[in-house]
Amino acid sequence: MVSSPTTLQVILGAPVVREKKVTALPKDGLDDLIRSIIFNTQQLNEPFYVLDLGVVASLVDKWTRSLPTVRPFYAVKCNPEPALLGVMEALGASFDCASRAEIETVLSLGVSPSRIIYANPCKPESHIKYAASVGVNLTTFDSLEEIQKIQKHHPNCDLLIRIKAPDDGNARCPLGPKYGALPEEVEPLLQAVKASGLAVAGVSFHIGSGATNSNAYRSAIAAAKSVFDAVSRLDMPRMHVLNIGGGFTAGPEFDDAANAVNSAVYEYFKNEPGLTLIAEPGRFFAETAFTLATNIFGKRVRGEVREYWINDGVYGSMNCILYDHATVMATPFACSSNGGDPTCDGAKTYCSTVFGPTCDALDTVLRDYQLPELQVNDWLVFPNMGAYTAAAGSSFNGFNTAAIGTHLAYSNSVKFVGLN
Ligand SMILES: *Cc1c(COP(=O)(O)O)cnc(C)c1O
């Protein structure tokens, strides 16, 4: 192997990161970092994120080892935090953008337009024109109307036909109800592309975000193969791209998903020479890399029940509870009370409710949740808050999600292989 820079050098060299402070974390050092941020920089008790770039690097490494033939296009919508995008770019990832603004953001990192897929099957005309003007030349479609718009405004664009993946039934956020050509729509769409003079480069699908059934990849890859077969029946130029979308989670289930993808690609596509395999993972890279710290600014005792108010909620980062069907977890960080042990290990717990800051009863983050007795100005820390959280938060009631700061850390326990 040629000697290459270490992961840490690659990460610290990313332009977006270079200007910022990155704290090296010893093993299990995240709690200490959160504590020092709270004590040293948090006079206003504002909520904040910690992004562990070491986790991002280890996930890139995991991806490379498990899906070595699949090139990841990070789905920007999942979490567009600039430091995350910058590090993904430095580590060699490409990007899935769904709008003009997302394309602009990624291009501003210095990413070549050839490393961007405009993976929104239904695009406003002005955004298509913009993609044409900057040379983003790969997009998806699933309707006749989309073919017409692309022919008119971006005739040099390569197309991937988005098919509706057979239903997983278990995804947290199914996408099939909105996108994807039905099996009987595929041939008419291919014929329309042929007539338009555009080129279909391949097939894409998305089995649903937060998918739990790895068989869904297998059925979708089988369905994609039938589209490749239809193209040869219709005497159209061979396709060469298979886009397996997102849906991956960074837990042990990733190994099942990777095995399902690898074996199905082998089974159905071993006779397709020169196939380019790509994917659009969002949650996989973002979810576990971010930890959110929130301050308790209100409390009410009702008998045995404890009620707390924290300064982020379902109109902010915790919109994931509503839109992403997420379950969040909180650990206490008691800095005002319990001086000896801020984690309150072993303390008596109470059935607790945790409210967000806005004046809407819907803004409830946790209910019937066991927490030790906490006080105003203690903190609640939420792990795994990187996917579909701040990205979709609002500024309802004056609580502005976009203003939540992000501190960068690097847990130094990963070896790096890198993407090619
Ligand atoms: C949202 C989305 C993704 C990312 O999905 P994850 O489940 O977060 O990996 C990828 N591709 C498309 C087209 C999407 O809409």
- 34 belongs to a structural domain: yes
Mean pLDDT for the chain? 93
Full domain range(s) for residue 315:
24-52+288-410
Whether residue 291 is predicted with pLDDT greater than 50 in this model: the reply is yes
Q: Is residue 65 part of a domain?
A: no
CA of 249 to the centre of ligand 1 (A): 11
- Note the pLDDT of residue 420: 47
CA-nearest residue for atom 5, ligand 1, is 246
Do residues 250 and 299 both lie within one domain?
A: no
Whether 267 and 343 share a structural domain: no
> Is residue 89 located within the same domain as residue 209?
yes
Amino acid at 405: G
Q: Which of ligand 1's atoms lies nearest the C-alpha of 281?
A: 9
Could you tell me the distance, in angstroms and rounded to a whole number, from the CA of residue 178 to the centre of ligand 1?
13
Whether 59 is in a domain gets the answer no
Residue 63 belongs to some domain of the structure: no
CATH of the domain at 339: 2.40.37.10
Tens of pLDDT along 317-371? 999 999 999 999 999 998 765 555 677 878 899 999 999 999 999 999 999 999 9
Phi, psi of 24 (to 5 degrees): -75, 130
Q: Are residues 366 and 383 in the same domain?
A: yes
Let me know if residue 417 belongs to a domain: no
- Cα–Cα distance list, 257 to 161, 208, 215, 385 (Å): 23, 13, 8, 22
Q: Distance, CA 332 to ligand 1 centroid (Å)?
A: 32
The CA-based dihedral angle spanning residues 71, 77, 83, 87, taken in that order and rounded to the nearest 10 degrees: 0
Residue 413: what pLDDT?
62
Contacts of 27 (CB under 8 A, 6+ apart): 411, 413
The answer to whether residues 372 and 240 belong to one domain is: no
Same domain, yes or no: 203 and 341: no
- Residue 148 contacts by C-beta under 8 Å, 6 or more apart in sequence? 196
Tell me which of 136 and 1 has the higher pLDDT: 136
Mutate to test the pocket of ligand 1, among 172, 280, 285 (most ligand atoms within 8 A of CB): 280
pLDDT at 340: 56
62 part of a folded domain: no
Mutation to probe ligand 1, out of 73, 77, 84, 285 (largest number of atoms < 8 A from CB): 77
Q: Which atom of ligand 1 is nearest to the CA of 246?
A: 9
User: In this structure, are residues 74 and 387 in contact, taking their beta carbons and an 8 Å threshold?
Assistant: no
Query: Last residue of some domain: 213, 247, 281?
Result: 281
Is 119 in the same domain as 263?
yes
pTM of the predicted protein model: 0.95
Does one domain contain both 29 and 96? Answer: no
pLDDT of residue 295: 97
The torsion angles phi and psi of 93, rounded to 5 degrees, stand at -75, 160
| 236 and 299 co-located in one domain | no
359 a catalytic residue: yes
Judge if 250 and 366 occupy the same domain.
no
pLDDT digits (tens, 9 = 90+) for 181-226: 999 999 999 999 999 999 999 999 999 998 889 999 999 999 999 9
Task: State the total domains in the chain.
Answer: 2
Asked if the structure places residue 383 within a domain, the reply is yes
What pLDDT, on the 0 to 100 scale, is given for residue 108? 97
> Are residue 277 and residue 292 in the same domain, yes or no?
no
Q: Which of the 8 DSSP states describes residue 187?
A: H
Best substitution site from 168, 206, 254, 388 to test ligand 1's pocket, by max atoms within 8 Å of Cβ?
A: 206
Mean pLDDT of the 80-96 span: 97
> Quick check: is 15 in a domain?
no
Ligand 1 residue neighbourhood (C-beta within 6 Å): 75, 77-78, 96, 119, 175, 206, 209, 245-248, 280-284
Instruction: Please tell me whether residues 272 and 206 are part of one structural domain.
Output: yes
Q: What pLDDT score does 172 carry? A: 83
Share of the chain above pLDDT 70, in %: 95
Using the 3D structure, point to which of 281, 304, 323 is the last residue of a domain: 281
Specify the pLDDT at position 364. 98
